Amino acid sequence: MQRYSFLTYLCAKLSQMRKTYEVAGHKFALVMPDDSPAWDKTHNYDPFVTDNTNDCDFTVEKKDEWYDTSAKKSLCYTASEKEDKMRIDFYEWKDMMLLEIAPAWAAPANLYVLMDKDHTWAQFYECEDSVYSFNIVLMLMYSVSRAKEDTMLIHASVTMKDGKGYLFLGKSGTGKSTHSQLWINNIEGCSLLNDDNPVVRIESNGEVRVYGSPWSGKTPCYRNLNVPVGAFVSLRQAKQNAIKRLSMVEAYTIVYISFTGFKFVEELADGYHNMNTRLISSVPFYGLECLPDADAAFLCYKTVTQQ
């Protein structure tokens, strides 16, 4: 890393801007140069800004230059959903976790992230041509730092009705957003809480609640609200509409493939497992085979709200 004079270092520190956010009761800070154009892209975080800057769970800092990490040690982990989706390669460097993130399987990395092993801080650097942003880093840090805190980022669309949240899960393209919209368009009193990555938390009293988050995919729905979870519904496209209550084994698998996190890291996996086990024994899970029509929404609504 380039060496700076003390004056240069001091000026750099003084020109940094820090904002603190709170999502599902957990606080984190983002630090970037005050003139960084990236601040113009943080509007999705505005509902979650907090003036209470004490005791943040983690801090993420944007770097303008990167370290010489050539001595990194491969951890033999690579994560990618599909060949046309982003790839994450995992390394260890100076007792820290190093992530090199590429926009596709065969593409070179253009986002670099360092995390401490306690998951209390991270630094990241973007190449000029990167299509990624601090959103990815904040999501990853939120997920791994909360793994042992009964808090989970989960890939789902959430619709609220009568003071409860109903989470629709499934692979990309299954129709989670479509099904949420069918509820909203056809069932009076429904509204969208989050359309991609809500937060599920088991409270100290055992209640399972779902929270809005700054991460909602392509749908700009960033609501700082939370409600008790009414049910989880796993969607599958079919030629007819049918719904059934799922077993705990089926529910466990659905949650496992739906949450955001590093499932291969043993200490984190233990946290995910413990929460998953508590979750499936506390909230009903359903499997819905469906068409993208109003009848599917009515069938699902009638079933999951009249338990």
pLDDT digits over 274-284, tens only? Answer: 999 999 999 99
Backbone angles phi, psi at 137, to 5 degrees: -65, -45
Say if pTM beats, i.e. exceeds, 0.75.
yes
Give me the pLDDT at residue 82, please: 57
Domain 151-305 sits in CATH at 3.40.50
User: Domain residues of the chain, as ranges?
Assistant: 6-145, 151-305
- Kind of pairing between the strands at 226-237 and 285-290: parallel
Tell me: pLDDT of 80 over 90: no
State pLDDT tens for residues 202-229: 999 999 999 999 999 999 999 999 999 9
Tell me: pLDDT of 132 over 80: no
Tell me: pLDDT of 2 over 50: no
Cβ–Cβ under 8 Å, residues 219 and 270: no
Average pLDDT, the chain: 90
- Mean pLDDT confidence for 143-172: 94
Give me the pLDDT at residue 1, please: 41
State pLDDT tens for residues 16-34: 899 999 999 999 999 999 9
Give the type of residue at 270: D
Give me the pLDDT at residue 240, please: 96
- Mean pLDDT confidence for 31-44: 90
Cβ–Cβ under 8 Å, residues 154 and 197: yes
Q: Where are the beta strands (DSSP E) in the chain?
A: 16-23, 26-33, 58-62, 73-79, 87-93, 96-102, 111-115, 121-126, 151-153, 157-161, 164-169, 191-194, 199-202, 208-211, 226-237, 242-245, 285-290
Residue 93 bridge partners (DSSP): 96
